[in-house]
Amino acid sequence: MKRLIPALASSLGLLLMACSTPSSQFGVYRQSDGTIGVHAPKSAKDSEAQAAAIEECKKLGKRSASIVETRKTVNDRFPMTYIFVCNTY
């Protein structure tokens, strides 16, 4: 039983990772006004785009990211663009 619980936890983690969009498929960039832009692929969820923005915010010493704007694009590879502002809390 003691070996079963870590094995189940590990399996669950791998299953969750398999269902998410790889971070390499996002286009993350800093804008001149200090916000973070995230170009997201079709398969991405809003929460995955936010996670990509949070990673960029952490590089700036911030802890979280709040969405400011969402817009559709004409780009087939990245049909959605999200704009985030980094927060210290």
pLDDT < 70 positions in the chain: 1-23
Residue 12 domain-assigned?
no
Number of domains in the chain: 1
Domain-embedded: residue 55: yes
Q: What is the pLDDT of residue 89?
A: 78
**pLDDT the model gives residue 26:** 92
Answer whether residue 8 is part of any domain.
no
Structural domain includes residue 48:
yes
Residue 39: count other Cβ atoms within 10 Å of its Cβ.
Answer: 20
pTM over 0.75: no
Query: Residue 37's domain spans which residues?
Result: 22-87
> Which CATH number do you get for residue 57?
3.30.70
The rounded distance, in Å, linking the Cα atoms of 6 and 34 is: 42
